[in-house]
Chain A
Amino acid sequence: MKVKVIVTLKNGVLDPQGKAIQQTLNGMTFDNVSEVRQGKYFDIEVNESDESKAKSQVEEMCKKLLANLVIEDFKIL
């Protein structure tokens, strides 16, 4: 089955890329954009039919590799 993961920077961690995107959007007349936070998205195909098993495996993957918990949070969709 396919498991989807989103990794984002934790609140309060500086995101200069997000800031640059926000400022560009503002310059493109999207004046009402007050913040952009950039993240990563993963589509993971796991050879496992049991959804809860697959998700718990992906959770381990997130903690060990996909996210660095010093600055990032992850969400399994």
Chain B
Amino acid sequence: MKSSVIIFPGSNCDRDMDVALKKFGFKNQMVWHNDAEIPKSDMIVLPGGFSYGDYLRCGSIAGKSRIIKSVINFANSGGLVLGICNGFQILTETGLLPGILQQNKYLNFICTNVFVKIKNKENKFFNRINKEVLELHIAHNEGNYFCSNDELKLIEDNGQIAVTYCDEKGNDDEYNNPNGAIKNIAGIFNKDKNILGMMPHPERMIDPFLSGEDGSLFFENLVGSL
């Protein structure tokens, strides 16, 4: 199982992701944003961080970097692409995922554990996870997912909502919405479900002594799916 983590100037969750992927059996390689080609991979990961200092809009500059053409080709040929946090923002800026991540509703940087509800398991990212609610970590200033009403209808009709913010019991209502995201959306798929972008960081939940283990469920499932 080969994975590639792309490093942009300002990425800061790339090594955490590398540790997590290797822990669960991926043969991971780090790829520099200015490379033209991605080495043979079963999955590409765009990690969290602050690529290009969040200049212009979060993810917008990284979304035009040299390596992105290969990411788009890989995704369009059905390859698995995972974008976490800033990676999610980059995926929306490239147009691989619909919508955009705006500044959090109350203008605060949020760094906390949250619960998310898995909304669709018919995909390689969540298919055999034996839980409906996961505890994961978020750390972002721009996680307020937004799209037009027409787009939202398409996303809902196609089952593209991946995870929503909720409480421990899975209530994904307005009281459990940390950043103002439309419909509590914490992560979405593309239409074919081979691309997942989400704000929560599963790579921060892989060690019971430091955090929790729900991220482990995510990576174990990924390894098994590929």
Contact = CB atoms under 8 A, between A and B. Distances in A.
Interface of A: 13-14, 16-17, 20, 64-66, 68, 70-71
B143 to A, nearest CB: 13
B100 A68 contact: yes
Contacts of B60: 65, 68
Given A13-B146, A65-B60, A65-B64, A70 B106 contact: no
A71 B107 contact: no
A14 B102 contact: yes
Given A70-B99, A70-B100, A71-B102, A17 B107 contact: yes
A19 to B, nearest CB: 9
Contacts of B146: 13-14, 70-71
Contacts of B106: 16
A60 to B, nearest CB: 13
Question: Which secondary structure dominates where chain B touches chain A?
Answer: loop
A66 B98 CA distance: 18
Interface residues of B, number: 21
A13 B148 CA distance: 9
Interface of B: 56-57, 60, 64, 92-93, 98-100, 102-107, 144, 146-148, 151, 180
Contact of B56 (A14, A16, A65, A71): A65
Given A14-B146, A71-B100, 8 more contacts: A14-B102, A14-B105, A14-B180, A16-B105, A16-B106, A17-B103, A68-B57, A70-B148
Contacts of B144: 14
